[in-house]
Amino acid sequence: MVIAIDGPAGSGKSTIARMVAERLGFYFLNTGSFYRAYTLSALDRGIDPEDREKVYSNALSVSITVENGNICIDGKDCEDRLHTPQVDRWSSPISADPRIRTLVNSAVRLLARGLDIVTEGRDTTTVIFPDADFKFYFDASPEVRAERRVKDQPGMEYEEVLEAIKARDKLDMEKASGALRIAEDALYIDTSLLTINQVCEKVIKTVRGTL
């Protein structure tokens, strides 16, 4: 079974998807982490993230795997380095390359074979798993999402984070491939005024109510 969750950055996708997976005993798969891993690898190797050809060539040369639930680059756990400001800044532009998206889509589909999974990411319900058993779209205002990011990463300036989120939303919605949009058969949930547990319960009840 595949439970897929879409939505913009900061809408609660990762946290809630992980909780749902734990509650149901499913495997948690964060597709966005693959893009972040390719971004981190390029940055670590001193590659200009705006040089699409070198970024893609590097992506072809590295192995992105999941070990014990953590993303690894060439066998080395890099999970704790996937959410730095630099990776945040460049992962969306890099993910806009259709060739990178093809690499990620193939990798996550292969990983998901034969598993019960909860997966999340921007285009999970529309491109990667269009036939998912359950689809959800989480949303929240840019202001709420900026507040969450500042709370999670002390020291960041709210106004800067807010502008970055708005810019990323625009980029994600205008991508030539894998653009952020709401699947017609997805359940829309505005998480702005809901707690993590409340959203989790909505997803669990929906899934269990139709099993």
Q: What DSSP character marks residue 70? A: E
SS (H, E, C) 150-197: HHHCCCCCHHHHHHHHHHHHHHHHCCCCCCCCCCCCCEEEECCCCCHH
Instruction: Identify the helix (H) or strand (E) that includes residue 6.
Output: strand 2-6
The whole-number pLDDT of residue 211 equals 57
Q: How many CB atoms lie within 10 A of CB 184?
A: 8
CB 147 within 8 A of CB 20: no
The whole-number pLDDT of residue 180 equals 81
Q: In order of start, what are the domains of the chain with their CATH numbers?
A: 1-26+116-211 (3.40.50.300), 32-114 (3.40.50.300)
Q: What does pLDDT average to in each consecutive run of 10 residues of the chain (211 residues)? A: 91 92 91 93 97 97 88 94 92 92 90 89 88 95 92 87 90 76 93 93 92 57
10's tokens: 């900061």
The whole-number pLDDT of residue 121 equals 82
The whole-number pLDDT of residue 176 equals 67
Say how far apart CA 188 and CA 79 lie, in whole Å: 29
